[in-house]
Structure 1
Amino acid sequence: MADAPRQAPLSRDTAILRAGWGYASVSDKIAGLVLERPLRWPWLAAFAFTFAGTLGFFAAIAWLFAHGVGIWGVNMPVAWGFAIGNFVWWIGIGHAGTFISAFLLLLRQRWRTSINRFAEAMTLFAAGIAGLFPILHLGRPWFFYWLVPYPDAMGLWPQWRSPLVWDIFAISTYLIVSLLFWYVGLIPDLATLRDRACLHGQRFARHAYGLLALGWRGEARHWARYESAYLLLAGLATPLVISVHSIVSLDFAVGNTPGYHSTIFPPYFVAGALFSGFAMVVTLAIPLRRAFGLHDFITDRHLANAAKVMLATSLIVAYGYAAEIFTAFYSGDEYEVFMTVNRWSGPYAPLYWAMMTCNVLVPQALWWRAVRHSPRVLFAICLVVNVGMWMERFLIVVSSLHRDFTPSAWGMFYPTAWDWVFLFGSIALFVWLFLLFVRFLPVISMAEMRELVHDSAGKKA
């Protein structure tokens, strides 16, 4: 099937009608990527490379268990380092999937259909990786279950005033609801893969997808219960977009450390999470549609809409930066003023100005329509934003701790090789999981695309 013309951006409905997609052709295209497309060397090379990185990540975890957190660069006064920065970065990346799937579903935004499936998968992988870092940072991570309020003979209960306990409840709730929402949306597509695997004589695939499809036959009562469950889970997931990263921000805001004790942190963190999350969605969408020829499904309009959300959230993040600076000087608190000036001219100043460039200046290019509809330029901007948001999380964690109230307690944080192994190893794990998802599950919702084809055909008629 020929790709949609790229010189003029099309809406998804127009692209589908021009390409002549029907029920069968939509399923053929998307299911064929899973059942019929042979393994090719780019996927195999990426899989091998990221699998090696994943093995390195787990080897580093084993080394951490054996030798403790002293292998990292953390020390007093900077007791939090890369691990907590990585945690905040990954949980922020996981926000876009829930926002696209749940929030935009309730708002009846049809453009979400082509990107919601892999955005939901991205959410699960990112949130799962994020949950690892606070556990690894415990010092005795094998006792992480002490954070869970289970009845035991020792009378051991979590310390409810600890932000670490808030984190485990927020992340576990977010993961469970996101997993249920993703899986319920997959059930009709798993049934389609089951039936097509049967036609192709793929016995193992037929049994595997059939088991996961839970006996779905496409009956009217199945669809009625599916729609009810899907909307109910969307309603449950939508508040989590706001609550989860707000709770993560309270890890910092409840402390009295200069730079942490700020009431603007919850909305500022949520906006930053959507900013980095949509940047990661576009970073994945552009190579995905090019590698599998999905230009008729993931159109320039989808990328442009995601770019608009990025632009809006970048302005909110910039406002958060400005509000933080204004509050520091307006309060007259000498410690807050010193912390702000130290970020501008202290030892981490180059990182601060690089962050401002990546998160504030570079996204302003998205005001231009030509930039929003240029996949290559948009991909480059999203990579810059991903790097900039990681630097922001690093600065939030480290720059407030390394210059505390008393100069006698000042110190510097210097990352070790193990810090970098954990960062890049977590990225390798994320990409490896995403490659497995692309290989074994449909990257676009066939059921929702077929519904779109039906609606588009009705409008044409």
Structure 2
Amino acid sequence: MARDMTHLASAGPAALTDHVTGLLLRRRAGKVWWSVFAVALVLTGALVAGIVVLLHEGVGVWGNNMPVAWAFDITNYVWWIGIAMAGTFISAALYLTSQPWRAALARHAEAMTLFALFVSSLFPVLHLGRPYFAYWIAPYPDKMGLWPQWRSALTWDFFAIGTYVIVSVIYFFVSLVPDAAAVRDRATTRGKQVFYALLAMGWRGEAREWRVHGQLSRLLAIIAVPLVFSVHSMVALDFSEGYLPGWHSTVFPPFFVAGALFSGTAMVALLSLPLRHGYGLRDVITDDHLDKLGKLLLAAGWVVIYGYASEIFTAFYRGAPDELAVMQNRMTGSYAWTFWLTMGCNVLAIQLLWSRRLRRSPWMLGTVSALVLVGMWMERFMLIVTVLYRSGLPPAWGSFHPTVWDFVFLFGSCGLFVLLFLVFMRVLPVVSLAELRRERAP
């Protein structure tokens, strides 16, 4: 299919629609897709096995201890929720500002949001210790008159993630309806016709439907953009509400939002490259799109760098002994390698993106994006462990050593995310056909 349609830039709306729908209706999965699917399936199976062991044995299977009660579990949660924030923000913000290059990226960015949200939602439940009581954080009516503890960060996370999931699912589905109708009209088997007809919800493409669709899309985008800031600010408050030195900081909410956009943009760029290459969409996801993603990644990265500089400057400017100790431990202590690796991935690597030629290079953009994702995970781990392992009096000091199950949950969550995205590639249009057709209509 990719060889049959390599010049989509000059193709009309109908030809573009035929190409993208043909990826779903006529093209079979290749060897590369099946190979990646097999690896992702194995990792997902390992994650399922880890969850079963955790439910049977308890959170002691992880390396968490006292004083390092948070480690890989919360690191994974904050990392995935940060990735989820950027997808909807990129789609909604570019929609509100009427950016034409949004159409090629919006669909898989929104799908990335949903899958990352699903993966991230596992960790707050699993790290409870008694995950079968997770429903206690929901304000359900009961005879005892019990209510959630509103001062608990778990309750804040429940409402923040729950709200964001609802808005993101609706936003993704609304944008999908016209494209599902296009696939429905070209489907040749009864099963596919019924499946895509259900997603299309009777869409006929009338002027009244397009008008309502546009109004609803704009309303959801207006809701989604501030929600991105509020949700990850809420995640930041999980830390900054505490009185531990290194966490009790007012810079955390904007710093966490910038970090979320940073890691999420890197994931969007990383996912765009295999779609562009494997599905013959080089003329849809063009070098200009890569260039703009590189600029967005560089801009978000410099906000994160400002956050690092502000945190370090504030600690040394105030001269508080406890905060100075945290910062010195972070730079020279047992986990100093996490600090310097974070600086290398998040500060140094993105400086390559000042070059337009490197931004437009798929290999270079992919390498930098992968380094950013590694660096942002490492930053969350550094933020948690370097504060906890030396907090309090010296007799309470400790250290953290991950177990094999810590790595199972980390790599298993990555496998689950890739598995969901691979299924999405085979079932739903990977680009927004309605918007691309609108751009190319005479």
TM-score range, shorter chain: over 0.9
Alpha-carbon separation, structure 2, partners of 1:128 and 1:393: 19
Structure 1 letter corresponding to 2:35: A
Which residue of the partner structure matches residue 323 of structure 2?
336
Alpha-carbon separation, structure 2, partners of 1:418 and 1:235: 41
Of the three residues 259, 265, 273, the one matched with 2:260 is: 273
The more displaced of 79-88 and 219-228 is 219-228
Q: Deviations over 1:335-381 (max 9, x none)?
A: 00000001110000112101101000110111111111111111111
Note if 1:312 corresponds to 2:302. no
Structure 1 letter corresponding to 2:291: A
Native 8 Å contact 2:47 2:413 kept in 1? yes
Which residue of the partner structure matches residue 75 of structure 1?
65
Of the three residues 348, 365, 374, the one matched with 1:361 is: 348
Residue 34 and residue 121 in structure 1: after superposition, are their counterparts in 2 closer, same or farther (change >3 A)?
same
Native 8 Å contact 2:5 2:19 kept in 1? no
The more displaced of 372-381 and 432-441 is 372-381
Of the three residues 164, 170, 177, the one matched with 1:174 is: 164
Q: CA deviation at 1:39?
A: 2.1
Of the three residues 390, 393, 398, the one matched with 1:406 is: 393
Of the three residues 20, 25, 40, the one matched with 1:30 is: 20
Q: Deviations over 1:417-452 (max 9, x none)?
A: 000000000000000000000000000011111001
Of the three residues 426, 430, 442, the one matched with 1:443 is: 430
Give me the CA root mean square deviation. 1.0
Q: CA deviation at 1:325?
A: 0.8
Note if 1:250 corresponds to 2:237. yes
Structure 2 letter corresponding to 1:261: H
Alpha-carbon separation, structure 1, partners of 2:194 and 2:365: 41
Structure 1 letter corresponding to 2:339: Y
Q: In structure 2, the residue corresponding to 1:94 is in which secondary structure? A: helix
Note if 1:41 corresponds to 2:31. yes
Alpha-carbon separation, structure 2, partners of 1:411 and 1:253: 22
Of the three residues 263, 279, 294, the one matched with 2:281 is: 294
Note if 1:148 corresponds to 2:135. no
Q: CA deviation at 1:225?
A: 1.2
Note if 1:425 corresponds to 2:412. yes
Which residue of the partner structure matches residue 57 of structure 1?
47
Q: Deviations over 1:294-324 (max 9, x none)?
A: 0010001111111111111111111111110
Q: In structure 1, the residue corresponding to 2:387 is in which secondary structure? A: coil
The equivalences for 1:87-102 within 5 A come to 87-102=77-92
Alpha-carbon separation, structure 1, partners of 2:116 and 2:211: 31
Note if 1:415 corresponds to 2:405. no
Q: CA deviation at 1:2?
A: 5.6
Alpha-carbon separation, structure 1, partners of 2:373 and 2:360: 19
Which residue of the partner structure matches residue 13 of structure 1?
none
Which residue of the partner structure matches residue 7 of structure 1?
none
Q: In structure 2, the residue corresponding to 1:115 is in which secondary structure? A: helix
Native 8 Å contact 2:58 2:129 kept in 1? yes
Structure 1 letter corresponding to 2:215: S
Which stretches in structure 2 are left out of the alignment for 5+ residues? none
Q: CA deviation at 1:48?
A: 1.5
Note if 1:159 corresponds to 2:149. yes
Native 8 Å contact 1:335 1:405 kept in 2? no
Q: In structure 1, the residue corresponding to 2:215 is in which secondary structure? A: helix
Of the three residues 363, 371, 381, the one matched with 2:368 is: 381
Q: Deviations over 1:236-267 (max 9, x none)?
A: 11111211111000000000011100100011
Structure 1 letter corresponding to 2:103: T
Alpha-carbon separation, structure 2, partners of 1:444 and 1:266: 32
Residue 27 and residue 2 in structure 1: after superposition, are their counterparts in 2 closer, same or farther (change >3 A)?
closer
Note if 1:207 corresponds to 2:194. yes
Q: Deviations over 1:399-430 (max 9, x none)?
A: 11111021111100111000000000000000
Q: Deviations over 1:380-408 (max 9, x none)?
A: 11111110000001011111111102111
Which residue of the partner structure matches residue 188 of structure 1?
178
Alpha-carbon separation, structure 2, partners of 1:191 and 1:414: 52
Alpha-carbon separation, structure 2, partners of 1:329 and 1:281: 36
Which residue of the partner structure matches residue 216 of structure 2?
229
Native 8 Å contact 1:253 1:263 kept in 2? yes
The equivalences for 1:317-328 within 5 A come to 317-328=304-315
Alpha-carbon separation, structure 2, partners of 1:217 and 1:2: 27
Note if 1:125 corresponds to 2:112. no
Q: In structure 2, the residue corresponding to 1:49 is in which secondary structure? A: helix
Alpha-carbon separation, structure 2, partners of 1:107 and 1:340: 40
Alpha-carbon separation, structure 2, partners of 1:31 and 1:305: 26
Alpha-carbon separation, structure 2, partners of 1:153 and 1:59: 36
Alpha-carbon separation, structure 2, partners of 1:401 and 1:58: 29
Structure 2 letter corresponding to 1:426: S
Residue 29 and residue 2 in structure 1: after superposition, are their counterparts in 2 closer, same or farther (change >3 A)?
closer
Q: Identity across aligned pairs (percent)?
A: 55
Native 8 Å contact 1:78 1:413 kept in 2? yes
Alpha-carbon separation, structure 1, partners of 2:207 and 2:133: 48
Moved segments of 4+, more than 6 Å: none
Structure 2 letter corresponding to 1:164: L
Q: Deviations over 1:194-235 (max 9, x none)?
A: 1100xxx21100001101211111111111111111111111
Q: Deviations over 1:170-209 (max 9, x none)?
A: 0111111001000000000111111100xxx211000011
Native 8 Å contact 1:78 1:402 kept in 2? yes
The more displaced of 38-47 and 291-300 is 38-47
Which residue of the partner structure matches residue 115 of structure 1?
105
Native 8 Å contact 2:180 2:196 kept in 1? yes
Of the three residues 380, 383, 388, the one matched with 1:393 is: 380
Native 8 Å contact 2:137 2:148 kept in 1? yes
Alpha-carbon separation, structure 2, partners of 1:414 and 1:55: 24
Which stretches in structure 1 are left out of the alignment for 5+ residues? 5-15
